[in-house]
Every structure is written in C-alpha cells, then in structure tokens.
Amino acid sequence: MAEERHICALLRQGCGGCPLLETPYPEQLRQKQARVEALLGEFGPVSPILGMEHPWHYRNKAISTFCTGPGRRLDSGIYAAGTHRVVPVASCLLHHPALDEAVEAVRRAARLCRYEPYQEDRGTGLVRHVLVRHSRATGRVLVALVTAAPVLPGARAFVSKVRELCPQVETIVQNINPRRSSAVLGPREKVLWGRGYIEDTLCGVRFRLGASSFYQINPEQTEVLYRTALDGAGLDGTQTVVDAYCGVGTIGLAAAGRARRVLGVEFNPSAARCAAQNARANGAGNARFLCADATAYLQGMAARGERADVVFLDPPRAGSTPEFLGAVDRMGPERIVYISCNPETQRRDLRLLAGRGWKARLLQPVDLFPHTEHVECVAVLAKIRGGGM
Ligand SMILES: C[S@@+](CC[C@H](N)C(=O)[O-])C[C@H]1O[C@@H](n2cnc3c(N)ncnc32)[C@H](O)[C@@H]1O
C-alpha cells in the first residue's frame, strides 16, 4: 500500500470532512481492522481489510454551501465540524478534481449573476448549496444549484457561464429548497440545461444519476465491495435473489447476469423508480423492483411460503429489524449476504441470526471512506444443516 502524506490547510480551519487525515493510511486500516475484529470477531475470523492503493480524490459527489466570504464576495465551502460556520473550500483531497472545477465554475457564474448567498439565521438570500456529481465512466458532471426560491434570475446567463468555464458539465438542474432545515435538497427540481441526469457504470451495469439519487460515493471501492458480495453469494445463474434495501438497484442489477431472477425492495419511491428504470435500460428482464418496506415485504413473502436462494441486505446505519431477519430465516435461503456501513448494528443483527443457526463463512471489511472513521463490512452467512456446511 503506497504511503503518501498530504497536508490540508482546511483541517486547521475546522473542516471536519477527514478526521483521520493526520493518521497515516496504513495505520487507519489497522485501526479499522481492529475495530471490526473487536465487534465481529465472535462470529469467525475477519479477513484483512481491503483498502485503496491511492486513497485520494475518490469521491464522486460533493456539496458546497454558499456563504459570504472576504470582501463580502460570494464564496462556498463546507460546514466546520459541529457548527454552521462555512469554511471556504477551493479544492479537497477527497473530491475527484472535476468536482472542484465544477464548483469553482458555479461560484464564478453565481458572482457574475449577483446571486446572494442564503442566510440560514435570517432566511434571506437565494443560493443555498451546489451539489455536483461526477461519472467515472464518462468523465461528465451533473450540477444542481439549490435555491431558496423558485425564480432564478438570469438562469440562461448562469448556465452559459458554467458551461463555458467547465466543459465537463453535462447537465444543470435547479433544486428548490424553501425549508428552514439542514436538509440540502428540497422536493422540487427544474432542469435548466441537458437531460437532468448523468450516467455511470458500476460492475458493468449502467446507472442513471440525478441530483437526489442515492449512489455510493467511492466507485472504485464500491466495485470491490459488490464483487466481494457477489462472489460470496456463489451465484451460478440458477438462483432466485432478493436485494433488500436496494437503493437504485446497484447490487441486484450487478447480480442479475448471474441469477435466474432478482427481486429488489426499496422504500424510497424515487430510488425504487430509478431501480426499475435502470433494469429496463440494462435489458435486465429478470429483475423486478418494488417500492415497499423491506420488513413488511419479506414478512409477506415468508407468510406466502415464497423462497429465495440468496438474500442480499444492505440496510442503513440503523441496521435491519428482528422481524426482517426472522422472515429471511423462515424463507430458508442458502446464503445471506449482509453488507453494512455500521459494524455495531451489524453485530446486533448477526447475533440474532447466529441464534438461529447462521454461521459466517466470510467477514470482509472494505474501506470505502479513507480518512474518515467509517468502514463497510460484508458478512456471508450460511446455515449449518444436519451438522455440515
Ligand atoms: C445503505 S443504502 C443501500 C443502497 C444500495 N444497496 C446501494 O449500495 O447503493 C440503504 C437503502 O435502504 C433504503 N431503506 C431504508 N429503510 C428501508 C426500509 N425499511 N425498507 C426498504 N428500504 C429501506 C434507503 O432508502 C437506502 O436506499
């Protein structure tokens, strides 16, 4: 693993984006490995964490919050840790460079159009944040300008300046967020230019990404994570697969080429719609995506006596529910593949499954978020039936 040290001036200004930046990367990996072993070691040996060769500029998404900078000039950056004070950011060691270039183009275009930064405490001003996404497959960028009000004066001039300054930009949307809350995106969106989305490819599958789509932010390591999960599932084209908590269908669609049938369950309606669209766009006729609560849906499947050979679950940080895990157990799959971004809730859930006879065949941590405290872990489980595996 290459040991490179980077100095970041933003750390001294209170930026909380990379709390481990001053810890050498090999040491970060040792700490994450030790943490996963302490939490999950009771279920079996934990494989060595899969880290990045070059753990820099891996992020494919950035959010920059507008503020008033020196000389009362519009600027933008990131909130200082634990505050609502914005630290101006021109470039970040974690962002793909195209993201910083796009944000700089937006800042310059916004100054030219004389947009006023939104003031949270007073509720005045227009522009709140800019969200940018980069496609590793195409190199193109989506820009979403988040405004407090629906009218964007000089929208055409804004669009043409951003395009002139940053030719990688492929589409520009305006997201309208009038709410006085810390949520970045609001409920309404207008396409100012282009298609309103970009496309990226993950594990050979094409995905459509809008401003609000949930999509893993480290594409290189996401492929490592999904490959680990798919290989662990032992798919050979004959299995019925459930992809629970499926987001825009990334795991299910990556599995579809190696499965007989895939059923994805996701409770966010826009993500579930995207998953269905992604299935059509990739010609995955064997994949179906439903908008439902994963617990309620799996309980229904178990009650109807429906079976699955492999169940993938990738729940949010809070983990799954005892009812979901009980239903999966009753459905009698050959494997459960549990992907988690929180080993603490994963331990709670694995204990419940261990109590029903499920054993870990693989516990594989993957570093999706270098320089932060987060760690993902794939647990592949099989049930001991009649004393053997
Ligand atoms: C960690 S993300 C995983 C998404 C996807 N597997 C991926 O890798 O991109 C968790 C997903 O679970 C969804 N979710 C949260 N609670 C849910 C529930 N009770 N039922 C179904 N989906 C849920 C969220 O909307 C989110 O898309």
Q: Distance between CA 378 and CA 340 in Å, rounded?
A: 7
N-terminal to C-terminal alpha carbon distance within the chain: 35
- Per residue in 294-335, pLDDT (tens digit) is 999 999 999 999 999 999 999 999 999 999 999 999 999 999
User: What CATH number corresponds to the domain at position 140?
Assistant: 2.40.50.1070
- Is residue 208 situated within a structural domain? no
- Per residue in 337-387, pLDDT (tens digit) is 999 999 999 999 999 999 999 999 999 999 999 999 999 999 999 997 654
- Per residue in 175-193, pLDDT (tens digit) is 999 998 889 999 999 999 9
Q: Distance between CA 17 and CA 79 in Å, rounded?
A: 9
- Is residue 350 situated within a structural domain? yes
- Is residue 1 situated within a structural domain? no
What ipTM score was computed for the predicted complex, to two decimals?
0.99
Assess whether 341 carries a catalytic annotation. Answer: yes
Q: At what angle do helices 322-331 and 343-355 cross, to 10 degrees?
A: 50
Q: Which of 202, 226, 258 is the C-terminal boundary of a domain?
A: 202
pLDDT at 143: 98
- Per residue in 33-87, pLDDT (tens digit) is 999 999 999 999 999 999 999 999 999 999 999 999 888 999 999 988 788 888 8
- Is residue 322 situated within a structural domain? yes
- Is residue 3 situated within a structural domain? no
Distance 316 CA to ligand 1 centre (A): 6
- Per residue in 201-243, pLDDT (tens digit) is 999 999 988 898 888 999 999 999 999 999 999 999 999 999 9
- 41 and 95 inside one domain: no
Q: Which of 177, 202, 227 is the C-terminal boundary of a domain?
A: 202
Range of the domain at 33: 13-54+218-383
**Exposure b/e, 264-297, CB count within 10 A at least 16 = b:** bbbbbeebbebbbbbbeebebebbbbebeebbeb
pLDDT at 386: 53
- Is residue 40 situated within a structural domain? yes
User: What CATH number corresponds to the domain at position 286?
Assistant: 3.40.50.150
Q: At what angle do helices 25-40 and 343-355 cross, to 10 degrees?
A: 30
Ligand 1 neighbour 251 (Cβ under 6 A): yes
Please give the tally of structural domains in the chain.
Answer: 2
Question: Does 245 belong to an annotated binding site?
Answer: yes
pLDDT at 214: 82
pLDDT at 389: 37
Ligand 1 atom at minimal distance to the Cα of residue 271: 27
Ligand 1 neighbour 266 (Cβ under 6 A): yes
Ligand 1 neighbour 200 (Cβ under 6 A): no
Distance 241 CA to ligand 1 centre (A): 16
Mean residue pLDDT across the chain: 94
Across 153-173, average pLDDT: 98
Instruction: Assign 265 a pLDDT band (cuts: 50, 70, 90).
Output: very high
What pTM did the predictor assign?
0.91
Across 99-120, average pLDDT: 96
Q: State residue 34 phi and psi, 5-degree precision.
A: -65, -40
pLDDT at 122: 86
- Is residue 211 situated within a structural domain? no
The residues, any chain, with a CB within 8 Å of residue 342's CB and separated by 6 or more, are 317, 318, 319
* Three-point CA angle 266, 254, 274, nearest 5°: 40
Which member of 92, 113, 203, 341 is catalytic? 341
Residue for token pair 């949520």: 183
Across 20-27, average pLDDT: 93
Distance 184 CA to ligand 1 centre (A): 19
Q: Which of 6, 5, 70, 1 is nearest to 32 (CA)?
A: 1
